[in-house]
Amino acid sequence: MNGVLIVDKPASLTSHDVVNRVRRMLSQKSVGHLGTLDPMATGVLPLVAGNLTRLAQFYTSSEKSYEGTIRFGFATDTYDAEGEAVGEAQPVTLDLNHLRQLGAKFQGVIEQMPPPFSAKKIRGLPAYKLARKKKEVVLAAVQVEIKSFEILSCEADRAEFRAHVASGTYMRSVAHDLGRELGCGAHLASLRRTYVADFDLSDAHTLEQIEDLARQAAWDELFIHPRKLLSSMPSVTATEDMAARIRNGRSVNLPDFSKAKQVKVFQGQRELIAIATRIAGTLFRPGIVFVAEQPAPAHHR
């Protein structure tokens, strides 16, 4: 039961809630996620199971795409719809062209203040733990990159947007700061992640679909094909002798991939056995070796 599956996360569940549910569905303790989504957010949440949980280190800086709604007229303490209103609500008349002009300020490399209700650490404690206790939260602005941010439409007090961002960007902060620019306050009303790393909504299953596929043992349909993982990294299929050396942590000569620093090593078409790092020339050392699978029942193959 080693693989990567993509959940279309529903609203109201934490990412950890989703992990716990999938653990039960797969009868598999070793399940983790590749980066959290806020409870109110929906969409692409990649999970790793079995020995492929070790792939998580390669996805720490993944780019992401979102669609969502910003509500103008008042800010909230969490910068989203789950928080308490800050200040009096104000009447709002939105102009699409003006919003787009303001939105242009949030593209490129910018300084962003993380929300007080976030996982950013303050003296070793997550900021949200201090914020929940009504303690002062003093965060420093961080540099983030927003590759694109487009206001698609607006109606009444709400605007729809689409964004593509580098890792570490808070769309809640974008909504909050846009409301401050407009002078009326704003917060994130809804958020849907449509893409992260190699995965998009076309790869995703609902929790109900995952439960059904697990019941049918339809593993090939449930899990992403291993050859699609880490798409920017070349793949090589090892011979039995090469695979044996790699599993024992020994260096091997692999085909030259235009000086690629790392390659994915497979045994057969579907079994990822290692991530190997170039030492010199065509000599590669297995940096991460995935524990060999035990023989599985025929329907698991």
Residues 50 and 164 in one domain: no
Same-domain status, 76 and 147: yes
The answer to whether residues 242 and 216 touch, using CB atoms and an 8 Å cutoff, is no
**How far is residue 29's CA from residue 59's CA, in Å, rounded to a whole number?**
21
The CATH number of the domain holding residue 33 is 3.30.2350.10
Is 300 strand, coil or helix?
A: helix
Determine the Cα–Cα distance for residues 49 and 40; give it in Å rounded to an integer: 24
Per-residue CA distances from 291 to 23, 169, 193, 265 (Å): 19, 34, 32, 13
| Active-site option among 8, 38, 80, 177 | 38
Separation between Cα atoms, residue 37 and residue 194, nearest integer Å: 12
Is 265 in contact with 275 (CB distance < 8 Å)?
yes
Same domain for 84 and 18: no
Could you tell me which residues are beta bridge partners of residue 177? none
Q: Is the pLDDT of residue 52 over 70?
A: yes
- Residue 187 in tokens: 């917060």
Q: What is the pLDDT of residues 115-150, one digit of tens each?
A: 876 555 545 555 555 456 555 555 678 899 999 999
d(CA 63, CA 167): 5
Q: Which of 294, 296, 298, 253 is nearest to 276 (CA)?
A: 253
Helix, strand or coil for residue 254?
Answer: coil
- Pair (113, 155) in one structural domain: yes
Cα–Cα distance measured from residue 9 to residue 232, given in angstroms and rounded to the nearest whole number = 26
**CATH number for 249:** 2.30.130.10
Maximum separation of any 2 CA atoms in the chain, in Å: 72
Of all residues in the chain, the percent with pLDDT exceeding 90 is: 66
Give the count of domains, the chain: 3
**What pTM was computed for the model?**
0.86
Provide the residue range defining the domain that includes 211.
Answer: 3-62+198-227
Reported as a single tens digit per residue, the pLDDT across 226-276 is: 999 999 899 999 999 999 999 998 999 987 666 789 999 999 888 999 999
Cα→Cα distances 103→41, 75, 133, 181, Å: 21, 17, 33, 9
Please tell me whether residues 102 and 174 are part of one structural domain: yes
Q: Do 158 and 56 fall into the same domain?
A: no
Give yes or no: 38 in active site: yes
What DSSP state is assigned to residue 173? Answer: H
Asked if residue 174 and residue 126 are part of one domain, the reply reads yes
pLDDT grade, residue 299 (50/70/90)? very low
